Structure 1
Amino acid sequence: MVVTEVPKLASAVEYFFKIGVEGKRLRPTVLLLMLRALNIQIPQQTSNVIGDANLMELCGRQNRNRIAEIVEMIHVASLLHDDVLDNAETRRGIASLNNVMGNKISVLAGDFLLSRAIVALASLNNNEVVSIISAVLEHLVTGETMQMTATSDQRCSMEYYMEKTYYKTASLISNSCKAIALLAGQTTQVSTMAFEYGKNLGLAFQLIDDVLDFTGTSTSLGKGSLTDIHQGIVTAPILFAIEEFPQLHEVVYRGLKNPADIELALEYLGKSRGIQRTIELAKNHAVLASAAINSFPESNDEDVLRSRQALVDLTHRVITRTK
């Protein structure tokens, strides 16, 4: 789906799809498990001809698998663009694409992936799913813009942080889970529960990511630690620390633009329960994600039950990961 005749563009587009640097693949894993967890089947009344029914089932399954491919392309495209905006030097343990090939090629590679994702999305012939995934692209841009243009008051707001986090991280996985359910012909209630699973899993993932930015190492993270705070980005651990030490509010309000303020913020964070409270919040979202799966209609199918348990197990892995 990402083939191009221009060699340099091909190398750029494939950069983070190569074996060894393909990332955690959390999103496609979730979507393929969600597909099985919903016990997707083509209704028998779709055709009176067995051959036609089998063909429709094959096409339907290919469409649902394609959602996982589309979502991963959108995700990688967002990483390429983010690295340009952040002047990132590393990603997934190797030099970032912008560091290797320059900003222009990195932006164009991201654009190419988005264009291929849109073409694949249109081929699904489902207007509601197209609308849902298209909204995700809007959310990604909105979240990044919120982060870049936040005022001092907004940087110190947990509500603003959670809204931005949903747009930047959780929207993609929540809406793609919903799209899978809709393509499966599930009810509005089931589609909503699929959405809730993805949303809460995504929020839990990002909260732990924010913790690891303070507690992880450059080797384990595949990128530099303390990246966010050095860019003046305020995340949940610091916001919780502000609640315990109001004097930290003024330090953050100034924008964390000088090393002395950063050191002071880290000092207050170390004395606070900011890290612990962020982990607790992530666990709360993991519980909500698990509850969404447990609310799915009952099934006696062993494969369905195994897939649902795997989705629940993923919530535990997300909050206990170290990289």
Structure 2
Amino acid sequence: MLSLMRWRYQVVWLWTCWRSGLTSPHPKIRRPKGAGMSALLGYQGKRIVITGAASGMGQAAAHMLSELGAEVYALDIAPVTTSVHSALMMDMQDAASIEAGLQQLPDRVDALFNCAGVPSPPFSAEETVLINFCGMRYLTEKLLPRMTEGGAIASIASTAGMGWRNQLDSVKAFLALEPDFESARAWMVANPKVCADGYGFSKQCMIVYTMQRAAVLAGRGIRINAISPSPTASGFMDKLTGEGQMPTEAIDLFLPANGRYASGAEMAQPLVWLNSAMAEFVSGVNLPVDFGYCAEVFTGTRDNLLNIS
């Protein structure tokens, strides 16, 4: 009798799981696949704007989003070769170029991916801050009126910006400026020591900006997050190490314990997740995507070469 009852229970439970769409009788071990996973991410038919889409993480993200059924508007100063809904040229350190691009973007935007970025060297500290942060903020603020409840923003920061707490006063002073390029240039001229490391400062600003805007945008139901990647194989890295700008051995000091560079796709995946319906209660987060590099630093098992706090 007991065996019969157990058998009947299992049949009823499996039938219930089948009716509810689970691929496993236990919800914690279900494995959605194919269209099911696409539905969970919720990108089908969504209008997506992504910068830095010509290469690296941005290119990988643009490809993923197109595969997930999104209407992708890809922006870059270089030609975009990925198959997308629309590819536009945009120079992130030029307000006129950004304004021209804005005129070609849709009136409604569901998600923004800020992936454009350059290293310093070979770019100057000023150019790096203008492209990596000022252009990103300018575009973001211009697109926010086109976003409604459920909108999301995800940006690529860096482990190089994880020391933002040590420079918070300077970062907040920079963020307090009007979001235009002229004010930023004047401030950098007046504070050369603060932004001597243009790349690190630009990423510190991006992280703090993300955290500051989260509470304000929450009132509109809009989320904003960032990822901080460890060294990633990309055109960006080629520029950083090319022509003797920075020895590969120096970059290798920041590799995670798994001993390798990440791929662009391995960074695009968490970026796509952050802006998806699966992360609908996640905002104000700077997510280290570094295979435990920052965890080693935080716990004192690795030298704190980036002055992370």
TM-score bin, normalised by smaller chain: under 0.3
Q: Name the one with the larger strand percent.
A: 2
Higher helix share: 1
Query: Normalised by the size of structure 2, how large is the TM-score?
Result: 0.27
Give TM-score, length-normalised by structure 1.
0.26
